[in-house]
Amino acid sequence: MRLIPVIAALLFATCTASKLPPPPPPDLINYDPDKDSLGASDAVIHRSNIFIHPRAEFPQWLTDITGLHQWPGLDAPYVSGMNFDFTGIPQFQQYDQRHCERTYGINSCSFDCGLCVGHNDIRHCHRLVQTFDDGPTADTPTLLHYLKGANRKVSFFVLGIQVVSFPEVFRSMHREGHLLATHTYGHTHLPSLTNEQIVAQLQWSIWVMNATAGVIPRFFRPPFGGVDNRVRAIAERLGLTVVVWDLDTNDWRLNDQSRSSDEIYGQVRVWKNNGVKGIMLEHDNTLFTVAAGIEIAEIVGKTDYTVADCNRKGTPWYQ
């Protein structure tokens, strides 16, 4: 059943380059997600307000699938007409962030509660690899400009709502050959959601990536590291492999000045000089984190490795 949205999206995407309705008026949404429970990693977007301005075109094929005419807000709706097959999805209890008492140890294999890593998850790499979450943003082009000049490729885990707001930046990421993966639609802690809500968060992110740049991602990074075997099973059914991280730069702490850039660069130099390998967690959603990303790239040195290469060099990152 999971092939249906993919096939439908591909089919309609190639057939509907004609007239599109004018973009809807700006839909300002107050964005104030919680902090996370992994030492507040991946929490850079907890800044007080992000305003979403829908600019991406909403294609006719998506209206045909969903019956809607514009991009949804953070809580993207489940589209029942897709007939997602929930058979065999593990029935672990939903748990909110930091409520780890509701998880089931090794059976549910939560990453944010216990750092459990699933059999197919990607958490480590045999190179030092840069990964950027929470974009695209107005600050991403600065990073793209640097990467293009340095002839480097990185992995971007994008938010659907950000692709909606910055479709041109997202197309630039694609044109310049970077790995594009999903970080959900609205940056939600997925284990706290119902099965249907999890499908919606992943499916809408895939749809906007497809509608904007014609790509269907194969990798997925859970916001706040929030993933257990229930979330994994649903993601897998959508063709997505979970990617987490093992080296946290804590770059988001630059935004509230709780960590200095020198501390971050010093940590990365220690990794580099000691031959430490792995997947570094970074963000591309403020000037501070983008500047750090550029400096970290300089420290790491020439590499064009993406998370797809952490499994096997040359593995496609798209479906």
Residues involved in catalysis: 133, 283
Q: How many whole angstroms separate alpha carbon 49 and alpha carbon 65?
A: 31
Binding pattern to Zn ion, positions 77-106, x when CB under 5 A?
A: ------------------------------
Shortest Å, Cβ 283 to Zn ion = 7
Shortest Å, Cβ 134 to Zn ion = 4
- Does residue number 134 form part of the binding site for Zn ion (CB under 5 A)? yes
- Does residue number 282 form part of the binding site for Zn ion (CB under 5 A)? no
Residues 6+ apart with CB under 8 A from 291: 142, 261
Stated length of the chain = 319
Residues touching Zn ion, count (CB under 5 A):
4
Distance, first Cα to last Cα, the chain: 15
Tell me the two tokens of residue 28: 């300002």
Nearer to Zn ion, 187 or 218 (CB): 187
C-alpha gyration radius of the chain: 19
- Does residue number 284 form part of the binding site for Zn ion (CB under 5 A)? no
Residue list 216-275, contact with Zn ion (CB under 5 A): 223
| Cβ–Cβ under 8 Å, residues 204 and 93 | no
Tell me the two tokens of residue 114: 């216990």
* Region from 65-73, 76-84, 215-223, 246-254 binding Zn ion, contact rule CB under 5 A: 215-223
| Cβ–Cβ under 8 Å, residues 82 and 5 | yes
Nearer to Zn ion, 133 or 139 (CB): 133
Residue list 26-85, contact with Zn ion (CB under 5 A): 42
- Does residue number 133 form part of the binding site for Zn ion (CB under 5 A)? yes
Closest CA relative to residue 34, chosen from 127, 122, 103, 112: 112
Nearer to Zn ion, 38 or 216 (CB): 38
Residues that bind Zn ion (CB under 5 A): 42, 133-134, 223
